[in-house]
Amino acid sequence: MSTLQVQRSCGDENELGTLTVQQALQNMLNSVSEKTTNEKTQLSSAIDRILTEPITSPINVPSHRNSAVDGYAINQADLAENSEIKTLNIIGQVVAGHPYTGQIQRGETIQIMTGAQMPSATDTVIMQEHVEVSGDTIRIDARHTAGQNVRQAGEDIECGQTVLQAGIKLTPPQIGLCASLGVSEISVKTPLTVAIFSTGDEVLSLGETPREGCIYDSNRYSLISALKKLGCDVLDMGIIGDDPEKLRHAFELAAKSADVIFTSGGVSVGEADYTKQVLSEIGNINFWKVAMKPGRPVAFGSINNATFFGLPGNPVAVMVTFYQFALPCLQKMMGLTSPLLAPNIKAQCTSRIRKLTGRTEFQRGILSLTDSGKWEVCTTGKQGSGILRSMSDANAFIILEHDRASVTEGEWVTVQPFSSLF
């Protein structure tokens, strides 16, 4: 590669046609739309699936009045007043799942267990720790209030109430909530089908004998893992060498088989990168220089009906462009309306970071909470876009905004924790 090309690929804020990160993302979001349909699934297989219809409760929760504690069910008319002590006769016991069918008169009480249905004519429960038991009687004092320790029917959820909105990605408590309503089958979005391949003659599959000047393919593995985590059906097309015919065939096959195509490598200015040439012929693709580091060259567009993301080759640039650009687009294509990412936070930076204005940088950082409750972040060290260790050691991106210059120790920076990304 010539010196000129090396300089160009390092970023030049004044270069014509360079987009900001926000512009590139907006362009991409504007051109994608939902690509899924609906299907039914059993609730037990619904984790991480996207709900297509709101869930309304077919029942009251709780379905019956029940006791919130172990104790004694009484009628509030039998509560003691002022400094009075009252004695009530225990006439039976009621446990969860076995309603009490007998009658209860004034001056009488039923021993009741947590979750058991309140016997008719009772409306208040005295905790067992608050009574004095003597044979078949209890003594209660005046510190209790009418209706205490009773969960009313429909108190948590009323029959007909909407409990989950369409477009959310189901979490374990939401699955539990559906189960608590007796909902066993739900309608969810079909997964996106994503085809992916790596490009480059120097890239080796795992298991291949190492060759001089070659590297193992890491991008396909990091991307496939990320896509699977998002619930995509992945079509792994392996590695395609720098050969225009093989590339053309791979793109055509991918476009036939998938909703979305991901490639890595081949979108910069390297002489043996035929990706650009082939794509210009078969697709409607933009080749963007984005004012960002890492990840400057990004290709995006469509090949027939498939959306195409041509991510850079460098392993960190791949991850950064995937999370900053592809993830929000995939979210839209999947029909996910609830936010996938937690909000960014501000943390005090303990590293000094050199930066030029005119591009957004995504440094890899280690975020921690100090004993005094303040968020602090430092970089993971060397930040080269080929150093994947800078990502694997990190737990957050430090996002240095477009107009920001170098960061001195102690400055506050924007941090995007990985926990909301991975």
Q: Which residues in this chain contact ligand AMP in the complex, by CB under 6 A?
A: 198, 200, 202-203, 215, 217-220, 264-266, 268, 270, 273, 312-315
**Nearer to ligand AMP (CB atom), residue 192 or residue 316:** 316
With 0-12 / 13-18 / 19 or more C-beta atoms within 10 angstroms meaning exposed / middle / buried, residue 296 is buried
| Count of residues making up the chain | 422
From the list 130, 124, 111, the residue with the least C-alpha distance to 65 is 124
Q: How far is the CB of 212 from Mg ion (least distance, A)?
A: 17
Nearer to ligand AMP, 123 or 217 (CB): 217
Q: Which does 215 bind (CB under 5 to 8 A by kind): ligand AMP, Mg ion, none?
A: ligand AMP
Minimum CB distance to ligand AMP smaller for 127 or for 215: 215
Contact of residue 218 among Mg ion, ligand AMP, none (CB under 5-8 Å per partner type):
ligand AMP
- Find the shortest distance in angstroms from Cβ 287 to Mg ion: 14
219 binds, among Mg ion, ligand AMP, none (CB under 5 to 8 A by kind): ligand AMP
Q: Which of ligand AMP, Mg ion, none does residue 315 bind to, with CB < 5 to 8 Å depending on kind?
A: ligand AMP
The residues pairing with 413 across neighbouring beta strands, listed in sequence order, are 347
Q: Is the CA virtual torsion 9, 10, 16, 18 positive or negative?
A: positive
Q: Which is nearer to ligand AMP, 148 or 286 (CB)?
A: 286
Smallest distance, ligand AMP to C-beta of residue 158, A:
54
Convert 246-283 to b/e letters by CB count within 10 Å (16 or more is b).
bbbebbeebbeebbbbbbbbbbbbbeebbbbebbeeeb
Burial class (CB in 10 A: 0-12, 13-18, 19+), 80: middle
Q: Least distance from C-beta 264 to ligand AMP, angstroms?
A: 5
Give the HSE-up count for residue 46: Cα atoms under 13 Å, Cβ half-sphere. Answer: 29
Cβ proximity to Mg ion, 191 vs 200, nearer residue: 200
In the complex, least distance from residue 3 CB atom to Mg ion, rounded to whole angstroms: 19
Task: Say how far apart CA 290 and CA 310 lie, in whole Å.
Answer: 13
- In the complex, least distance from residue 2 CB atom to ligand AMP, rounded to whole angstroms: 14
Selection from Mg ion, ligand AMP, none that 71 binds (CB < 5 to 8 A by kind) is none
Q: Which residue is nearest to ligand AMP (CB)?
A: 313
Angle between helices 244-257 and 275-282 (to 10 degrees): 50
- Given ligand AMP, Mg ion, none, residue 117, with its beta carbon under 5 to 8 Å by kind, binds none
Shorter beta-carbon distance to Mg ion: residue 217 or 273? 273
264 binds, among ligand AMP, Mg ion, none (CB under 5 to 8 A by kind): ligand AMP
For the chain, state the CA radius of gyration: 31
To ligand AMP, the closest distance from the beta carbon of 218 in angstroms equals 4
Q: Which does 259 bind (CB under 5 to 8 A by kind): ligand AMP, Mg ion, none?
A: none
- Could you tell me which residues come within 8 angstroms of residue 383 by beta carbon, excluding any fewer than 6 positions away? 316, 363, 364, 390
Taking the least distance from each CB to ligand AMP, the nearer of 203 and 415 is 203
- Contacts to Mg ion by CB under 5 A: 200, 265-266, 273
CB-CB contact of 371 with 32 (8 Å): no
Partner interacting with residue 43 (select from Mg ion, ligand AMP, none; CB below 5-8 Å by kind): none
**Is residue 323 within 8 Å of residue 360, measured between CB atoms?**
no
> How many helices (H) does the chain have, and how many strands (E)?
9, 27
Is 92 within 8 Å of 111 (Cβ atoms)? yes
Nearer to ligand AMP, 203 or 232 (CB): 203
Residues 6+ apart with CB under 8 A from 416: 341, 344, 396, 397, 399
The burial of 422, by beta-carbon neighbours within 10 Å (0-12 exposed, 13-18 middle, 19 or more buried), is given as exposed
Q: Report the residue number whose CB is nearest to Mg ion.
A: 200
- Least distance (Å) between residue 200 CB and ligand AMP: 5
CB of 388 to ligand AMP, least distance (A): 8
Decide whether 222 or 380 has the Cβ nearer to ligand AMP: 222
Residue 360 binding: pick among ligand AMP, Mg ion, none (C-beta 5-8 Å cut-off by kind): none
- Backbone φ and ψ of 420, nearest 5°: -90, -10
At its nearest, how many Å lie between ligand AMP and the CB of residue 287? 12
For residue 324, the 8-state DSSP code is I
Q: CB-based contacts of 167: which residues, under 8 Å, 6+ apart? A: 50, 51, 52, 335, 336, 337, 338
Pick between residue 200 and residue 283 the one whose CB is nearest to Mg ion: 200
